[in-house]
């Protein structure tokens, strides 16, 4: 069963790469059929990856997400799901051009942490802790999408202010929808990040009697950035470029927590993977 899971994982990577090619070619050629195919291929990739996760679950006989490999795979999966939901409501295929390669990178990076399924260590058992990291995955995925929208926003704004319509950048979506997608993704991400912080703190306190750790501080900082984003938006109307930059900064924090704080600085998350 594990072999099936691995096979499907790689198949999904290739399918996502193909979807990227179609999104890019749609962006250039504007042919309706290419765009429709791009979406269809992404949906296929999502199904294949779901199959991969499902067979991994069958072979490991426990809920997933408690390892570096599984966590990245699940974040990638949430990104795709989130993206498809957005595409269903808004014509934002350009965003697909950013999301699909990002997901490929996530999955390939995940592969570098690959390990065969095995039992979890004691601390990571239980549905309470599952809720902790699952909400972190949803939050990360939402922030990734927001960051993609932010990049597109900055590109489009730069292009629009240049006042030339000669480049292909003119085909980017409108500023309003990019801003809106970023904002909504961050609301979702923020809610889940809050859940992550609370559940993590409680669990850490139960096990070690403290929750004072590099990762808690870093996550709290990230949470503060997004809180700042949401508050400033409502209070003084920080929309547009400034909030796009904040969204990117927040995502930079999310990335560095995952790849710098967790492996090197955190005592609480120092269990292997």
Instruction: Report in angstroms the alpha-carbon separations of 227 from 86, 134, 189, 190.
Output: 23, 20, 11, 8
* Residues 131-150, mask of contacts with other proteins (x by CB under 8 A): --------------------
Cα–Cα distance between 196 and 81 in angstroms, integer? 20
177 contacts other proteins (rule: CB under 8 A):
yes
Q: Nearest 5°: CA angle at 25, between 21 and 28?
A: 145
Q: From the list 14, 28, 121, 174, which residue makes contact with other proteins (rule: CB under 8 A)?
A: 174
Q: From the list 40, 158, 176, 256, which residue makes contact with other proteins (rule: CB under 8 A)?
A: 176
**How close are the terminal C-alpha atoms of the chain, in Å?**
22
Whether 124 contacts 130, CB under 8 Å: no
Q: From the list 71, 156, 196, 222, which residue makes contact with other proteins (rule: CB under 8 A)?
A: 156
Distance, C-alpha 256 to centroid of its chain: 13
Q: From the list 116, 166, 168, 272, which residue makes contact with other proteins (rule: CB under 8 A)?
A: 166
Q: Which of 144, 142, 5 is nearest to 61 (CA)?
A: 5
160 contacts other proteins (rule: CB under 8 A):
yes
Cα–Cα distance between 136 and 147 in angstroms, integer? 16
CB atoms within 10 A of CB 127: 9
Cα–Cα distance between 76 and 68 in angstroms, integer? 12
157 or 220: CB nearest other proteins = 157
Q: From the list 96, 173, 182, 189, which residue makes contact with other proteins (rule: CB under 8 A)?
A: 173
Minimum distance from residue 66 beta carbon to other proteins (Å): 41
| Sites for other proteins among residues 27-56 (CB under 8 A) | 30, 32
250 contacts other proteins (rule: CB under 8 A):
no
Minimum distance from residue 224 beta carbon to other proteins (Å): 22
Minimum distance from residue 233 beta carbon to other proteins (Å): 9
**Residues that bind other proteins in the complex, under the rule CB under 8 A:** 30, 32, 90, 156, 160-161, 163-166, 170, 172-177, 180, 236-242
């Amino acid at each position: 069963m594990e072999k099936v899971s691995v096979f499907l994982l790689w198949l999904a990577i290739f399918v996502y790469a193909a979807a990227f090619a179609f999104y890019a070619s749609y962006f250039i050629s504007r042919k309706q059929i290419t765009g429709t195919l791009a979406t269809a291929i992404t949906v296929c990739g999502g199904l294949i990856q779901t199959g991969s996760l499902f067979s991994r679950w069958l072979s490991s006989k426990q809920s997933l997400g408690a390892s570096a490999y599984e966590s990245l795979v699940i974040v990638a999966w949430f990104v795709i799901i989130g993206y498809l939901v957005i595409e269903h409501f808004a014509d934002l295929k350009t965003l697909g051009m950013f999301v699909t390669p990002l997901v490929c990178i996530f999955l390939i990076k995940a592969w570098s942490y690959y390990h065969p399924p095995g039992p979890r260590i004691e601390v990571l058992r239980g549905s309470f802790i599952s809720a902790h990291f699952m909400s972190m995955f949803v939050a990360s995925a939402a922030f990734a999408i927001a960051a993609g929208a932010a990049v597109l926003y900055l590109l489009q704004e730069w292009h629009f202010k240049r006042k030339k319509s000669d480049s292909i950048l003119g085909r980017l979506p409108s500023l309003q929808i990019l801003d809106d997608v970023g904002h909504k993704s961050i609301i979702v991400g923020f809610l889940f990040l809050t859940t992550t912080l609370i559940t993590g703190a409680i669990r850490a306190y139960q096990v070690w009697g403290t929750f004072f750790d590099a990762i808690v501080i870093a996550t709290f900082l990230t949470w503060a950035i997004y809180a700042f984003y949401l508050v400033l938006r409502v209070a003084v109307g920080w929309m547009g470029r400034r909030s796009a930059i904040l969204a990117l900064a927040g995502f930079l924090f999310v990335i560095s927590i995952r790849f710098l704080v967790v492996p090197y600085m955190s005592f609480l998350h120092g269990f292997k993977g």
